[in-house]
Structure 1
Amino acid sequence: MDIGVLLPTSTAQWGADGDPRELIAFGRRAEDLGFSSLFVNDSLISPRIEALTMLAALAPVTGAVTLGTAALLPFLRRPVQAAQSLASVDLLSGGRLVVTVGAGFPGRFGRPLYDLSEVPWPRRFARLDETVALWRAVWNGADSFHGDLIHVTGIPPATRPSRPGGPPVWLGGAAPAALDRTGRLYDGWLPYPPDPADYASGLAAVHRAAAGAGRTAGDVTPALFVTVHVGADASGGRHALEDYARTVYGMPLEELEKIQALVAGPTEHVARQLERYVTAGARHLVLRLATLDLRSQREQLERVAELVPALRGQAAFTARG
């Protein structure tokens, strides 16, 4: 059972007096507290530290934690250049990189970014799959790539990742097509469904697709992205989630919780809710801390660390059962 934390790389999570250089110490403290992974997200909409820059900064100051993206948006970058950057981070970390990718979705977090990147919106999912296939080809020494949408020739010798074949690539998303593509093409699944039952049914669909492609369930890491806030009571937790939803997403909590997994309340309540996802099959939790300044982020990190032993115990119990 792996339990990781999302670093607060967005300015919305620093507070008025926040210093983003503190994120290095934040990551090191998370490793010391027993978290097994550090993740960052990616966007051009809100000001933030660029995802791969953040991971490159963390690589030499951490020792064992997985470094991951949740999720990287490949259409924001030239495919061959991104393959080089990812291979470099994997090398600098000694093979600890995991790359979760996504294609974006309609609204302010989707099509406007494609326009800024001068990449066509139509067939975006096919473009995502081809981009990942190109990365893998480059990591394996290919000098050309020919897909339906992407054609590259004359690729010079590129940086090879630490691991043969490159870092694992996971897919975010829970639409039926995404479940099928995850099972056939990707090394992991990182969705955020509000209901653990939907996680269980989605994971079953991923496993069916994997079997149909001649793969096993073990070829796909079952992960979960979930926003948490640990506090003294449920009402205070709801208030924190409401502030977070409106500040980060510009929408009320009642709308955000229809599409994303969010959990708040006392330690025992949060643990029980997360254990439901563990029972549903999740084996790598990526926890986003729902606060809006670095001091509160550090406080939440300490509180959430108290959940780690119980969640790992639940995973062991579920595996035995």
Structure 2
Amino acid sequence: MDIGVFLPTGQAQWAPAGDPRELIGFARRAEELGFASLFVNDSLLTPRIEPLTMLAALAPVTERIGLGTGALLPVLRRPVQAAQTLASVDLLSGGRLTVAVGAGFPGRFGRPLHELSQVPWERRFARLDETVALWRALWSGATEFRGEFHDFAELPPATAPFRPGGPPLWLGGATPAALARTGRDYDGWLPYPPDPRAYATGLGAVREAAREAGRDPGAVTPALFVNVRIDRDAAAAREVMDAYALANYGLPLAEVERIQAVALGTPEEVAAVLGRYAAAGARHVVARLGAMDLAGQAEQLERLAALTLPGSR
């Protein structure tokens, strides 16, 4: 199972005493330790380093580690310009980019983003899928695009990504509709179900949808977004993760873990949780590290490497 990590780009993870420029060193250390990927979050509702800016900064200072978004919200960006930016990051990284996308969720993390972006909330999933189709058309050299939301009789020459056809596109989400769309149209799946059994069921639905669409089910990467805190015991881990959840979501850990995958406690307890997701079919885990500052994030990075990456140094 490949292990990746989220960069702590949110201001709550490095302010007030931290310097976000230290994220460059964090990324380099993750590559040195042998992590498979570095992912970034996307939002307008919490202060953070803009994700594609962060990846562009990382592309020339790393060599092997994958770079990803989890999940990018296309609604925040004009689609043609976003395609150019993503192709540019893929070029600068030598083809190391993976783009996981999402459509947002009801409540405080959904509608306000659409209002700020002046994009209708209604039919957001159809708009997301069409935006992805437009990106692929641009990356493949299309000269026109006809869709419900985006209609271009003439497209200009687009920046070609490093890889023909562009970077892999994953979908975040675990509703029945999202599972069907993942299997039909996407290259990977990045959910965060709190129960490994739900992950296994969802992955089965993704693969069945792929088969029905005439695709190879094995071509859809089964990934997992999981919150991780390694500590001396479960009580100490929960205390920090609760503060982390409040700082990032305004919600206590007890509410977050009802909707998101969480692995916390001793190394053995965290390994047991990750093992259950591996048994359910996850093959690329992206861990969001629970720590309240950059020093704590760096410490968690070392602990996760010691637990999951044999031979890390």
TM over 0.5: yes
Map 1:298-317 → 2, pairs under 5 A = 298-309=298-309
Contact 2:72/2:100 (<8 A) preserved: yes
Query: 1:254 Cα shift?
Result: 1.2
Question: Secondary structure, in 3 states, of the residue corresponding to 1:287?
Answer: strand
* Deviation by residue 1:51-109 (Cα, 9 ceiling, x = unmatched): 00000000011111110000000000000000000000000000000000000011111
The answer to whether the aligner puts 1:232 opposite 2:264 as a matched pair is no
State the shift of 1:150 in Å: 1.6
SS of the equivalent of 1:87 reads helix
Q: 1-side partners of 2:101 and 2:131: how far apart? A: 10
Structure-1 separation of matches of 2:246 and 2:21: 26
Is 2:280 the partner of 1:269? no
CA distance in 1, matches of 2:255, 2:293: 23
d(CA) in 2 for partners of 1:293 and 1:116? Answer: 29
Q: Matches of residues 114-133 of structure 1 in structure 2 within 5 Å?
A: 114-133=114-133
Aligned 8 A contact 2:241 2:253 in 1: yes
Find the aligned partners of 2:292 and 2:29 in 1 and give their Cα distance.
19
Residues 69, 98 of structure 1: 8 Å contact kept: yes
Asked if the contact 2:35/2:309 (under 8 Å) is kept, the reply is no
Would you identify which runs of 4 or more consecutive aligned residues in structure 1 move more than 6 Å?
none
CA RMSD of aligned residues (A): 0.8
Q: Which residue of 1 aligns with 2:58?
A: 58
Question: For the residues of structure 2 that align with 1:58 and 1:2, how far apart are their CA atoms?
Answer: 20
Normalized against structure 2, the TM-score is what?
Answer: 0.98
Residue 316 of structure 1 corresponds to none
Contact 1:35 1:308 in 2 (8 A): no
Could you list the per-position Cα deviations for residues 210-244 of structure 1 after superposition, in whole angstroms to 9, with x for gaps in the alignment? Answer: 00000112210000000000000110011111111
Unaligned runs of 5+ in 1: 311-321
Query: How big is each residue's C-alpha offset from its partner over 1:13-33, in whole Å with a ceiling of 9 and x where there is no partner?
Result: 113211000000000000101
TM normalised by structure 1 equals: 0.95
Equivalent residue number for residue 315 of structure 1: none
Alpha-carbon distance in structure 2 between the residues aligned to 1:68 and 1:276: 24
Equivalenced residue count is 310
Gaps of 5+ in 2: none
Decide whether the 8 Å contact of 2:40 with 2:70 is kept in 1.
yes
Q: CA deviation at 1:309?
A: 3.5
Aligned residues with identical type, % of pairs = 68
Structure 2 SS opposite 1:307: helix
In the TM superposition, what is the alpha-carbon distance from 1:153 to its structure 2 partner? 2.8
**SS of aligned partner of 1:218:** helix
Does the CA-based 8 Å contact 2:229-2:265 persist in structure 1? yes
1:279 aligned counterpart, secondary structure = helix
> 1:273 deviation in Å?
0.7
CA distance in 1, matches of 2:200, 2:14: 34
Amino acid at match of 1:45: L
Tell me the distance in 1 between the aligned counterparts of 2:300 and 2:88: 31
Tell me if the contact between 1:14 and 1:294 (Cα under 8 Å) persists in the aligned partners: yes
